[in-house]
Structure 1
């Protein structure tokens, strides 16, 4: 079935005869003006497809073209444009250039303007149909490619996490038992010989090492230990964490201020939430030591509607906008010796608690914001 009823044959034939008489000039002019990227693997086919479109228009004027004919050519061109990986805008420009030149040539024929108006309308309709099918197919193919890439990336992340989970299990067996023994004997020494220097520092360092090992374990979903939730008073928990971090705070000459509502409580897995606060504060300390004094970290905790909001702000370097979401991806790190799993684990824990962890950064401060249900 044709796209639209044809014109009287002798008018259409007169235009076709005129086009064929001037075909060489028309094709040459179009090829001289088109955009053709030298990196285009199908650059020769661009010219070939232009001629095919020209032939399709001639057959349209004879009313011998179906929509399937237009669609097939459009799909062929769309596939080649995707393979060439060239800006689709170049393709649209070249098509419309061909349309404009073709209409200019048609207007020079001996056919009356009244009859030419209908012929030009037919030409425009065909070009519109062709562009629609080509761009639609191009977008469809591109979207499919993007989905396949996303699936590949997600699967790669899962594979990495699975491998890391296996590594973590081995890591635990190799290090947790001797570490537990050392922590235990250190406590005995503090009990039996309370005057020995540095035992408290050793205990703090061992606790930090234990924390790092636990952090590694949390990269595997299977390693979240489902202990019962408990009621946690955030003020008490954050005081405990700041006491634990005291040596790092003093050593880095960081000023920490707090504004915490002492009445706020949450129901949570305490060890997991503690790990989140520790990691965010560790990152904040690492950030502020990159700048001159004063090095400032501010910790705020308040209620907002039916949520608890905890904000950890620091005056370290700005995190670029394009990185502010990427930092939560597994294995992404800006630290020379970083693993890229800390913030990924933190977000995973907060989401497990039906909360949200976000980051905002500008030239004045960087804020990590945690939302949790009351």
Structure 2
């Protein structure tokens, strides 16, 4: 039997068993319960069956195969169904066609050539469909990411505008009040409650500074760096927070690498560790005693690592990946910008910040480039 006669005979055999082939395929393929395009799947199966028959007569154009593959890929993306089910269904259809080919009775020496031709078209169809599906999915993800990023940018722009207004309304009178309080401390060093007032004003100034760091224009004005001894900076912050530490009876322990130093903007880096320590104090406020906070610094390679730990409640795993995102907060009156600003500052200083939390301890770990003492003879 010639190849033309073989193909004609095989097509006739397929058409004779068409209903049984299609019913078998439909009854055994994988269809997700949530798939909104079940009927379309059946129609596409029939279209692929027709293309297989055209393959045998060499009348199938690559564009026709590509058109169907792209149609299916688009529908699978729109249905939001895993592409694995599609691949399984196509291969099950392939196995039915191959099975019928074996049952057709065509001569053995011509069987392999026919099977190879069928397999080649099925492989090409799957390749085209999966490639298109992947492209559409990546495009969809990029659009979603763009929307999320744009939404964040819009919020940050609005927050920057709010910050500017906030600064003009509060910064000048706040500066005046802070100045007069310091004069009072000088003239009346034993004046009752003056240290508390001074401390609370510094806290207010710190909160305002958090908003300022969301404004690019304001941040651009604070680029001056200096050489900082890390342990002196951390000791200064702990001393600054001493009233809050005493107020809730927190046991603060420290262990510092005294020769570690960095090149950084002092006000910005101080804001980072001040914010983390204040968060640690907030986290253990409602905890039963003992309440513990540990602050340590050490060097590792060309980095200095600062770990601030507390024995407060565990941060849930689902929260861990978003605590550094803007506007996320677990505090009733929180703004959700504190840790976002911390990350922004540390990354600007070529460092990184991360968090680890379990039932016993929560640690915020900050890494900054280590400045060797021999690089510069001066220290702050």
Question: What TM-score results when the alignment is normalised by the length of structure 2?
Answer: 0.92
Unaligned runs of 5+ in 1: 1-6
Is it true that 1:238 corresponds to 2:234 in the alignment? yes
Task: Report the Cα distance in structure 1 between the residues aligned to 2:20 and 2:302, rounded to whole angstroms.
Answer: 74
Query: Is 1:364 paired with 2:329?
Result: no
The answer on 1:65 being equivalent to 2:57 is no
Within the candidate set 259, 262, 267, 1:266 is matched to 262
Question: 1:1-374 maps to which residues of 2 (within 5 A)?
Answer: 8-224=3-219, 225-373=221-369, 374=371
What secondary structure, in the 3-state scheme, does the structure 2 residue paired with 1:297 have? strand
> SS state of the match for residue 328, structure 1?
coil
How many angstroms does 1:253 deviate by?
1.9
* Cα deviation digits, residues 103-145 of structure 1 (max 9, x gap): 2222221213332232222212111111111011100110011
Structure 2 CA distance for aligned equivalents of residues 191 and 272 of structure 1: 28
Match of 1:4 in 2: none
Q: How far does residue 362 in structure 1 lie from its aligned partner after superposition?
A: 2.9
Instruction: Tell me how far apart the structure 2 counterparts of residues 279 and 34 of structure 1 sit (CA, whole Å).
Output: 57
Q: Answer yes or no: is the 8 Å Cα contact 1:41–1:84 preserved in 2.
A: yes
Measured against aligned partners, the alpha-carbon deviations of 1:242-288 in whole angstroms (never above 9, x if no partner) come to: 11111111222211110112222222211111100101111112223
Quote how far apart the aligned CAs of 1:227 are: 5.0
4+ residue segments displaced more than 4 Å: none
Task: For structure 2, list consecutive stretches of 5 or more residues without a partner in the other structure.
Answer: 372-380
Q: Does the aligned pair in 1 maintain the 2:298–2:304 contact within 8 Å?
A: yes
| CA shift for structure 1 position 96 | 1.4
Cα contact 2:3–2:110 (8 A) shared by 1? no
* In structure 1, C-alpha distance between the alignment counterparts of 2:37 and 2:189, rounded to whole Å: 80
Query: What is the rounded CA distance, in whole Å, between the counterparts of 1:167 and 1:372 in structure 2?
Result: 31
3-state DSSP of counterpart to 2:289: coil
Deviation at 1:67, TM superposition (A): 2.4
Residue 26 of structure 1 aligns to a residue whose secondary structure is helix
- How many residues align structurally? 368
Aligned to 1:3: none
CA distance, structure 2, for counterparts of residue 291 and residue 126 of structure 1? 67
Instruction: Work out whether residues 325 and 359 of structure 1, in 8 Å CA contact, stay in contact via their aligned partners in 2.
Output: no
SS in 2 for 1:36: coil
2:241 alignment partner, SS class = helix
